[in-house]
A and B are shown apart, each in its own frame.
Chain A
């Protein structure tokens, strides 16, 4: 019975996964839980057409390999847009990944926490090595680079 409960807890997280407001605490948790593996964080906005190309690429990769280590963070920092954000994630079938969003009017604070040398240009991708260090890149990342990093 115990194993079902554990399984149930695991799945319930997955099934009811919704974007979570980004905090220092949960950002640190994601980083520490991904230690010892290569993973990717992509920051995106509803107001960034190229971001949707990157979401689409990730969506295709996730459909082939659902356990891909990708975290998505929406940067719109507006509670008014939460429903639209969820709609996009559902549309691209990315709502089962770990999804965060910047808290209302906390864009600069959130950016500063992730990387004080990033100025908000999008899409922004962070390639985390297994040692926990990250390299940030701005602009659309091509499919081969994404594939190579996440394999």
Chain B
């Protein structure tokens, strides 16, 4: 009898416990020194850091903490940065992880332009946001939404550049067409590539036009954009070909005439994946109008990091060359040119530490010198980027979460 009573009590108790656990899971609490330190706005705690150069050669770095964006300026080529400044007027969620992070760019007039993705209440929904400063970062304009669809759907992976006429051009991955197709009962795959050009209103505010450039893009890889003419930009993104082959496409868009000049598939590695590679591309153009491309794939025909160039905006391209050690997880490459020099950076992981690698070509990408390790991190590793200040100086920026932001002149 005692046994039966005990069993009954036990079963009731266990049922109650499982109900409790299903509805009120206790949050995991962690107490570590580093975590406590990282509850402040230190740059070392940021997951991502974005660097851009002011036309006067100053380097600006931006990062986020909770709902805020911060910047710091270096007047001496990255050797030191001034005290961080919290940007007033931005108080909203900001995507700042992995492929999806805030961007900063400058006009020739010294205007500072910011763009970021603001996640919304529903999973995988966000708006592309924009704010700018006319007085060197002293005040920033009230953030506005760049995408003009007003839909609660995905708008992320923003890139920004500023033309010689100080017009901001923003591109991003947009879910509006998929959203509408789904409502109409149609089955589609992927997002769309959109572009917006900003123009100043009479009252000093900015407005943006929106234009779809491609449909059926991969949904979780960064976009690469570079200006390839007075009124032209070239954009490289991961596209979905047929049944989930995710290779890269490149298009060139004339934003004055508002037409797509050409659009080509530029990688043929045949990566079949119904999923998220989280590996975007990088591009740059040199003064001979040669486009330099670098990308990552895990396809049937090509695995690892690759580099190639194109002399006709992606219509044809050189035979891809393999970059880095695939066995050491070489990934996240970036490229920038400087005359005939082509600089590539990427990261590897040797089993214990992350390594930042650099490889250089001095003949416009025809061949490359031996690669070298530039820096290491035993904690985290963000994607590395090369920044040009337009005055002939190039810098490598590499955020190492929990260790610190690393920046060095090439």
Q: A residues engaging B (CB < 8 A)?
A: 4, 7-8, 11, 14-19, 45, 47-52, 77-79, 82-83, 86, 90, 93, 95, 104-109, 111-112, 116, 119-124, 138-140
Contacts and interface: CB of A to CB of B under 8 A. Distances in A.
Contact of A79 (B30, B97, B274, B277): B30
B239 interface: no
Contacts of A122: 275-276, 278
B89 to A, nearest CB: 24
A124 B220 CA distance: 15
A49 B329 contact: no
Nearest to A76: B97
What are the nearest 6 A-B pairs in CB distance? A105-B380, A139-B275, A139-B273, A139-B274, A108-B349, A140-B274
Interface in B312-338: 327, 329, 331
Contacts of A48: 220, 275-276, 278
A120 B273 CA distance: 12
A112 B97 contact: no
Contact of B35 (A79, A90, A123): A79
Nearest to A85: B28
B379 A82 contact: no
Interface stretch (B10-18, B227-235, B388-396): B10-18
A45 B327 CA distance: 24
Given A11-B14, A122-B278, A78 B327 contact: no
Interface stretch (B19-27, B203-211, B258-266, B365-373): B19-27
A121 B273 contact: yes
Contact of B331 (A19, A52, A95, A119): A119
B232 to A, nearest CB: 32
B222 interface: no
A90 B22 contact: yes
Contact of B124 (A49, A90, A139, A140): A49
A17 to B, nearest CB: 8
A145 to B, nearest CB: 12
Contact of A123 (B30, B272, B275, B279): B275
Given A51-B276, A86-B27, A138 B14 contact: no
From B28, B123, B219, residue with most partner A Cβ within 10 Å? B28
Contact of B402 (A14, A16, A105): A105
Place the interface of chain B in its size category. 35 or more
B408 to A, nearest CB: 22
B21 A121 contact: no
Contacts of B23: 90
Contacts of B219: 49
Interface in B276-329: 276-279, 296, 298, 327, 329
10 contacts: A16-B17, A19-B28, A47-B97, A48-B220, A48-B276, A77-B380, A95-B22, A95-B25, A106-B380, A140-B275
Given A18-B28, A47-B98, A139-B273, 5 more contacts: A11-B17, A48-B275, A105-B402, A119-B329, A120-B331
A4 B4 CA distance: 12
Contacts of A112: 329, 349, 351
A80 to B, nearest CB: 9
Contacts of A119: 279, 296, 298, 329, 331
B64 to A, nearest CB: 11
A50 B274 contact: yes
A90 B10 contact: no
Interface string B395-409: 000000110000000
A104 B98 CA distance: 14
A72 to B, nearest CB: 15
Nearest to B277: A121
Nearest to B34: A104
A71 to B, nearest CB: 18
Nearest to B98: A47
Contact of B97 (A16, A18, A78, A140): A78
A92 to B, nearest CB: 12
B359 interface: no
A51 B298 CA distance: 18
A18 B26 contact: yes
